[in-house]
Chain A
């Protein structure tokens, strides 16, 4: 059995950022991953994907973007290349091809059974991220048998879907982007829209990410936000890594049929909520509220005259009577793509750290048993926690806590 002070599970941006922090504190550790560095990005992303955040916003801890296109949006292949370079630069002790079967043990003495043999460690960092599994609603189980189903985690390209109509369920970042390319492939898309976040790609001459950064929205802390559960459930905005809009107006101009949230499947019919107008009005309202905050920020700094004037994107247009059902057995819809979100997978974690609903119990990444930490989850410690650039501050905070824990354990 290998004995090491800290085992980091997962070699994506979170695991690498933590490795750097541990090395800086001279804490001996290993970063294990079922595959290679950035494995989830290699395995579970669609071909056309570009990051939602512009390149300048994708700094890794100690490694800002220095490439030729700071305002571009990098492809996943570029991101993986950056991860590889970064892992080498920080001499991260990565052991790949190591699949975790189970983690057990107690306070300060944990065992990790892996495909490459067991590890024993005093502390443990769960850095497998929040997008390990698709979050597919139970209604998928009663899908008529002839309908091909995929998820945004498994989907690679439109031609993997059968010809014919596609029902895309979910209109957040993944659903909006995939709807666009599937519709363009000649497969007519019906897009089921629940509650969502609408943002313009740019505003007053700057990328929206720049504004979110400036007004401080991304630095909001987990212990200061009014309703953390809700903040963690907030979906990714309808954006794509590029200049084109993918909001519901833009998608409808491409011919996409917009319907309400998928509410059920009955007698071979997909049933959609009649609350579409409500979800859309709410998203428009929140977008305007954010842009008002940006305008307030600009005005307070007397920058009104040097920036382009404010504008408001057109309100979302909807058909007067959005359809409430679509047959799943008449051949019109041949496939269903679930873009209904993601969740972490800690099924291998045999520690008493889950709440009654099966969610990991942690406070800002400090898990409910001593020496165990989680990193890279949505709104872990800050609103930007799940972003490439958001993991660095979290890793530093948690590494401080981890080092104190180890010192305390030694003193005892």
Chain B
């Protein structure tokens, strides 16, 4: 009979120390925690548009990236468009999935759980009678959103459920979608 003992270092690629350090720093200097995120969107043609995310404000100053990111949005051919990118509502769903998935990875790292694979499938239901103005009683946005996670990790199913639960609590996009936000739109 052999007995093996080994110590494993969990690596999900999340720098938890840096995140915990940021929490301490922002607790000590709350003004540094005030962030403003931005996207700039330009109409291309038809319902095709292109958004650019570049600088943001935070840590008390303007922050820059080494290169901007662009996300194109369009409508599919079924809507007589050219399908140059996902629809804006799919970008919202993808934002939710990405936010929750990042949360799962960060929480797993913090709890010492090694992830092998994480898949999130998001669905949002929409009745087009709303957006097309056919029935004013129908909500224009999603009537329901479902997220299903499939996670392979060195952990019990209960611990995995705990990861998913905690990721919802700290997810900005989950909060943005589940709670109302005042939106101010201006021209000029």
Chain B positions within 8 Å of A, measured between CB atoms, are 30, 143-145, 158, 161-162, 165-166, 168-169, 174-175, 177-180
Q: Does A129 contact B (CB under 8 A)?
A: no
For A263, list chain B residues within 8 Å (CB). 178-180
Say whether A275 faces chain B, with CB atoms less than 8 Å apart.
yes
- Residues from chain A with Cβ under 8 Å of B161 in the complex: 281, 285
Bound Cα distance A278, B178 (Å): 10
Residues 363-380 of chain A: 1 if any B CB is under 8 Å from the residue's CB, otherwise 0? 000000000000000000
A281 to B174, CA, bound (A): 15
Specify which of A271, A275, A282, A285 is in contact with B180 (CB 8 Å cutoff): A271
Assess whether A273 is in contact with B179, with CB atoms less than 8 Å apart: yes
Nearest B residue to A261 via CB reads: B179
Q: In terms of DSSP, what is the predominant structure of the interface of chain B?
A: helix
For A274, list chain B residues within 8 Å (CB): 145, 177-179
Flag if A321 contacts B178 (CB, 8 Å): no
Alpha-carbon distance A271/B179, docked complex (angstroms) = 8
Interface size in chain A (residues, C-beta < 8 A): 19
Task: From B143, B158, B175, B179, give the contact of A288 (CB < 8 A).
Answer: B158
**Which A residues are in CB contact (< 8 Å) with B145?**
274
Whether B30 and A260, one on each chain, are in contact in the complex, defined by CB atoms closer than 8 angstroms, is: no
Q: Are A264 and B180 in contact, with the CB atoms below 8 A?
A: yes
Shortest CB-to-CB span from B57 to chain A, Å, is 21
Contact with B along A99-125 (1 / 0, CB 8 A): 000000000000000000000000000
Q: Decide if A154 is an interface residue (CB 8 Å cutoff).
A: no
By Cβ-Cβ distance, the 3 closest A-B pairs, closest first, are A274-B178, A275-B178, A263-B179
> Could you write out 6 A-B pairs with CB less than 8 Å apart?
A261-B179, A263-B178, A274-B177, A285-B158, A289-B162, A292-B158
Least distance between A295 CB and chain B CB atoms (Å): 13
Q: Which residues of A contact B158 (CB under 8 A)?
A: 285, 288-289, 292
Q: Does A75 lie at the interface of the complex (its beta carbon under 8 Å from any beta carbon of B)?
A: no
Interchain CB contact under 8 A, A282 and B178: no
Query: Are the C-beta atoms of B179 and A264 separated by less than 8 Å?
Result: yes
**A271, A282, A356: which contacts B165 (Cβ < 8 A)?**
A282
Q: How far is the CB of A374 from chain B (nearest CB, A)?
A: 21
Interchain CB contact under 8 A, B180 and A266: yes
Interface centre among B145, B162, B179 (most CB of A within 10 A): B179
Contacts of A273 in B (CB 8 A): 178-179
B178 touching A285, Cβ below 8 Å: no
Mask: chain A, 261-272; 1 = CB below 8 Å from B; 0 = not = 101101000010
Sample of 9 further A-B pairs with CB below 8 A, known A264-B179, A278-B178:
A261-B179, A263-B178, A264-B180, A273-B179, A274-B179, A275-B168, A278-B165, A278-B169, A282-B166
Q: Taking the nearest CB of chain A, how far is it from the CB of B96, in angstroms?
A: 11
B146 to chain A, nearest CB (A): 10
Q: Is A195 an interface residue (CB 8 A)?
A: yes
Q: Contact at B179–A285, with CB atoms within 8 Å?
A: no
Cβ distance B110 to chain A, nearest Cβ, rounded Å: 10
CB distance from B123 to the nearest CB of A (A): 15
Chain A residues contacting B174 (CB-CB under 8 Å) are 275, 278
Q: How far is the CB of A171 from chain B (nearest CB, A)?
A: 16
Q: Within 8 Å CB of B30, what residues of A?
A: 356
Q: B112 CB to closest chain A CB, in angstroms?
A: 13
CA distance A166 to B165 in the complex (A): 30
Q: How far is the CA of A273 from the CA of B171 in the complex (A)?
A: 14
Cβ-closest chain A residue relative to B169? A282
- A278 engages B168 (CB within 8 Å): yes
Query: How far in angstroms is the closest Cβ of chain B from A44?
Result: 31
**Which residues of A227-277 have CB atoms within 8 Å of chain B's CB atoms?**
260-261, 263-264, 266, 271, 273-275
A282 to B168, CA, bound (A): 9
